[in-house]
Amino acid sequence: TLHSAPGTAARPKMPSRNIEIGVSTPTVADLKKHLALATDQWQANFCVVPLAHPRYWRDHRRPRAEQFTRSDLVLDSNAWCRLVVGKLSPWIRLDSADEALRKQSEAAFKQEVAWAAHLNVPAVMLPPVGSDAVNYAHCVNQALLSAPHIQFWVRVPITHPPQSTAEAAGGDEDGSSGTGAWASWNRLRCLCEHAPNLGVSLELGADLPDDEAELERWLGEPLRAVVTPAVAYLTNKRGYPTLSRRHQAALARLLQHKPRLLVSGRADAHSEGLGAHVQYLRYLVSQRLAPSQQERYEAPYYDFLQAPLQPLQDNLESQTYETFEKDPVKYERYERAVYLYLCQRHQPGGEPAVVMVVGAGRGPLVAATLRASAASGRRGRAFAGE
């Protein structure tokens, strides 16, 4: 039960429609029917669809010349750019030791990215990145430059088992834990020179990291989507999917960045399909408190470097000063510092303390000084220099 602080009004809940929720199934036989099922019956906002038809397998030993996917006329342009997120073929191995498979993977990667750009889909889901993925980064960087209008989401399991004996011995450094997954992502991000259209699609599997700091690490990343596999859900007494309390807490923290949510799994994961999982996620989103006025004001400034202002050189507008004054921490700390100074250096009833506020602006620091003087019971005189 949520309680509001005494003397304050209860904050409203967050509308569930503020977060987009999508579905991803292993295969899509009929795209039109699948979109109708997902959006109408399951109430999803978008679908993750393989860019290449699942029946087309590029075997480097037997090259095939026929078409590799469905026609772009299956959907209109509005549906492609609103309802579809592309997904690369799972067999692509850009860093394979087999030279023939690697070259075939490079060709398939370029072909599928070019097809995604032609369809004008908003995003493309990339396969997980390994601990040594130099060629992977090379191909992704080329795609980022050739299709800057597309967002590329790298699927990163928050925890995953080692892929080899060497990785098992290496532990965190080689990708057997959340730390290794982050290290692989960070290396890819650096090799791609922090491209703005490269983001993370974080997968919350059945197991979460034991260390909460691993989850906090991802709060500072460009989080584009959070994937919850159907196998990670539990079943409640009524037979509907639900997440564990730990998964719910992790998801609530990640929702601060307003990522898209994605349910992945088979269409028959539940008697109602993936729609039961979508409705459960909408319920979780609706339980979040709506942002406060302060949080709404700060939201446009998150994750952006701010150009330093020159108040001694330029005459700042009143709106700029108002922006400064909406930083609560700054003035609370100043007021606390003045209060401690008055309590430690001056006695009640003694000579009044003199406080000089240099660069007073519209006066919030002067007001903080006067409040500190009243709270400490010491007399004070405030001088404002501007």
For 45-97, the pLDDT digits (tens) are 999 998 887 666 665 555 556 666 777 888 888 988 999 999 998 888 898 88
Low-confidence winner among 15-19, 117-121, 285-289 (lowest mean pLDDT): 15-19
Q: How far apart are the first and last CA of the chain?
A: 49
List, for residues 328-350, the tens digit of each pLDDT value.
788 999 999 999 999 998 888 88
Supply the pLDDT for residue 380. 83
Backbone φ and ψ for 234, nearest 5 degrees, come out as: -95, 175
Backbone φ and ψ for 260, nearest 5 degrees, come out as: -75, 150
Tokens found for residue 139: 């191909």
Of the ranges 17-31, 144-158, 303-317, 324-338, the best mean pLDDT one: 144-158
Supply the pLDDT for residue 385. 86
Residues recorded for the chain: 386
- Residue 338 to residue 369: CA distance in whole angstroms: 6
Cβ-based burial of 342 (10 A; exposed 0-12, middle 13-18, buried ≥19):
buried
Among the listed residues 66, 157, 78, 166, the one whose alpha carbon sits nearest the alpha carbon of residue 121: 78
List, for residues 374-386, the tens digit of each pLDDT value.
999 888 888 998 7
36-53 exposure pattern, b = at least 16 Cβ within 10 A, e = fewer? ebbbeebebbbbbbbbbb
List, for residues 275-301, the tens digit of each pLDDT value.
899 999 999 988 877 777 777 777 777
Decide which of 271 and 169 is more confident. Answer: 271
Degrees to nearest 5, angle at CA 205 with 42 and 191: 105
Supply the pLDDT for residue 158. 87
Supply the pLDDT for residue 282. 92
| Cβ(150)–Cβ(197) below 8 Å | yes
- Residue 160 to residue 183: CA distance in whole angstroms: 13
- Residue 382 to residue 307: CA distance in whole angstroms: 31
- Residue 218 to residue 226: CA distance in whole angstroms: 11
- Residue 204 to residue 126: CA distance in whole angstroms: 16
- Residue 285 to residue 40: CA distance in whole angstroms: 20
Which amino acid, 351?
E
Supply the pLDDT for residue 175. 41
Beta-strand relationship, 241-242 and 234-235? antiparallel
Degrees to nearest 5, angle at CA 374 with 370 and 378: 100
Cβ-based burial of 386 (10 A; exposed 0-12, middle 13-18, buried ≥19):
exposed
| Cβ(260)–Cβ(227) below 8 Å | no
Supply the pLDDT for residue 173. 43
Backbone φ and ψ for 193, nearest 5 degrees, come out as: 60, 40
Tokens found for residue 372: 């500190």
- Residue 226 to residue 40: CA distance in whole angstroms: 22
* Whole-angstrom Cα Rg for the chain: 27
353: helix, strand or coil = strand
Backbone φ and ψ for 187, nearest 5 degrees, come out as: -65, -45
- Average of per-residue pLDDT values in the chain: 82
* pLDDT category of residue 5 using cuts at 50, 70 and 90: very low
In this model, does residue 263 exceed pLDDT 80?
A: yes
Would you list the DSSP string of 247-273? HHHHHHHHGGG--EEEEES-TTSSTTT
Supply the pLDDT for residue 4. 36
Structure pTM? 0.73
In this model, does residue 163 exceed pLDDT 50?
A: no
| Cβ(180)–Cβ(131) below 8 Å | yes
